[in-house]
Copies of this chain bind each other. A is one copy, B any other.
Amino acid sequence: MSDNTFGRLFRMTTFGESHGPAIGCVIDGCPPGLEIDAAAIQKELLRRATGRSRHTSQRKEKDEVQVLSGVFEGLTTGTPIALLIENSDARSRDYADIAEKFRPGHADFTYWKKYGVRDYRGGGRSSARETTMRVAAGAIAKKYLNEHFGIEIQGWLAQLGPIRTDEVMDLESVDDNPFFSPDASVVPQLEEYMDSLRKSGDSVGARISVRASNVPAGLGEPVYGKLDADLAAAMMGINAAKAVEIGAGFACVEQLGTRHRDEITPDGFLSNHAGGVLGGISSGQDVLVSVAFKPASSLRIPCRSVDIHGNPVEVITRGRHDPCVGIRATPIVEAMLALVLMDHVLRQRAQNG
């Protein structure tokens, strides 16, 4: 059962391969009457675009989004919204070499095992290019959430390889540097680290955190549509994600109950180890999520692998790649959080009016 649709009531269906003619999505379930601001979508797309600094892939996509349906005279009509972006700077020749080789750490091997056929150019459907549409759809969700609830969503780089970047938190400054670091003072260190990494031909992992403020209490559908479970799926489903935490996350393994439980007073909660979710339902506190991204596996440093016939081969990747895929993940993590919250706003409304 193929599944290229995200969400239950606010549903995004994406399509497209990295090196095909276009990528796109259909958003079904968007409430009518929302002003669609193409510029706002474009602004979010720019945040995740490649080629913005020397630290990310040099592929230069214009990423101009076309709205094909569902909007009339500037307002959503309640019918499906189709968004389309044509692929322009796809250099498929870079990939001829790997047509029959499985790149370790990639989906090449598993797509082959699953389908028996694959579009190997640029990773085809498994390429992070697909996340462009998540960001586009997320921009619409963000707008609705902000207009109707005042919800604010902000992600940031919390760690890049060995460098912690969340010890000083100035979320206002996140967009002022190419790393989405909330601590401007650490940026030179990041630049230096990345330059050295790029030189070595290696890559590294990262941790991205995200916060949603002003989330109303009551979102989340126990016991199999819990808000935190849906967030975990949303985040783990992003390319290269390997771990997800809500609130205190793994730290709670060593916490005592007297410390972890967030006491309540008439003025509100006294702490937020829960990360804004209790029993799978939002509590009204900030929703806090953190995601680990693995280091990219596409390296010019050779490694051992096999081809589709099972023969040993050496793999060297020459395409344009991100030495730290986590860097560009911040807007994607924000988008997924927005999509989950948007879906749950509609779900809550359905049953509880």
Q: Known A77-B119, A304-B264; judge A236-B242 contact (CB<8 A).
A: no
Q: Which of B84, B222, B263, B305 contacts A304 (CB 8 A)?
A: B263
Q: Known A5-B224, A70-B15, A218-B114; judge A306-B264 contact (CB<8 A).
A: yes
- With most chain B CB atoms within 10 A of its CB, the pick from A26, A72, A110, A265 is A110
A250: chain B residues at CB < 8 Å are 207, 242-243, 245, 250, 292
A125 touches B223 (CB 8 A): yes
| Alpha-carbon distance between A15 and B157 when the two chains are bound, in angstroms | 37
A15 touches B113 (CB 8 A): no
Q: Which of B107, B220, B262 contacts A279 (CB 8 A)?
A: B107
Give the residue name and chain of the B residue nearest to A101 (CB).
B264
| Alpha-carbon distance between A107 and B75 when the two chains are bound, in angstroms | 19
Whether, in the assembled complex, A182 has its beta carbon less than 8 Å from a beta carbon of chain B, the answer is no
| Alpha-carbon distance between A32 and B69 when the two chains are bound, in angstroms | 29
| Alpha-carbon distance between A81 and B22 when the two chains are bound, in angstroms | 12
Chain B nearest Cβ from A292, distance in angstroms: 5
Q: Which of B68, B223, B263 contacts A21 (CB 8 A)?
A: B68
| Alpha-carbon distance between A217 and B1 when the two chains are bound, in angstroms | 16
Q: Known A1-B8, A1-B350, A15-B26; judge A256-B204 contact (CB<8 A).
A: yes
B237 touches A223 (CB 8 A): yes
Whether, in the assembled complex, A296 has its beta carbon less than 8 Å from a beta carbon of chain B, the answer is yes
Q: Known A21-B68, A69-B23, A253-B159; judge A353-B260 contact (CB<8 A).
A: no
| Alpha-carbon distance between A284 and B113 when the two chains are bound, in angstroms | 9
Digitize A1-37: 1 where CB-to-B-CB distance is under 8 Å, 0 elsewhere. 1111110110101111100111110101111110000
Give the residue name and chain of the B residue nearest to A118 (CB).
B77
Can you spell out 16 A-B residue pairs with CB atoms less than 8 angstroms apart? A9-B351, A15-B70, A78-B117, A79-B119, A104-B262, A104-B263, A109-B283, A110-B280, A114-B281, A125-B222, A126-B223, A205-B252, A229-B233, A242-B248, A252-B294, A265-B305
19 further A-B pairs in the complex, CB-CB below 8 A; given A2-B28, A266-B311, A349-B353 = A3-B347, A15-B81, A29-B350, A105-B278, A114-B220, A161-B256, A202-B256, A202-B258, A204-B254, A205-B254, A205-B260, A207-B250, A232-B233, A242-B245, A252-B294, A258-B299, A259-B295, A261-B299, A265-B312
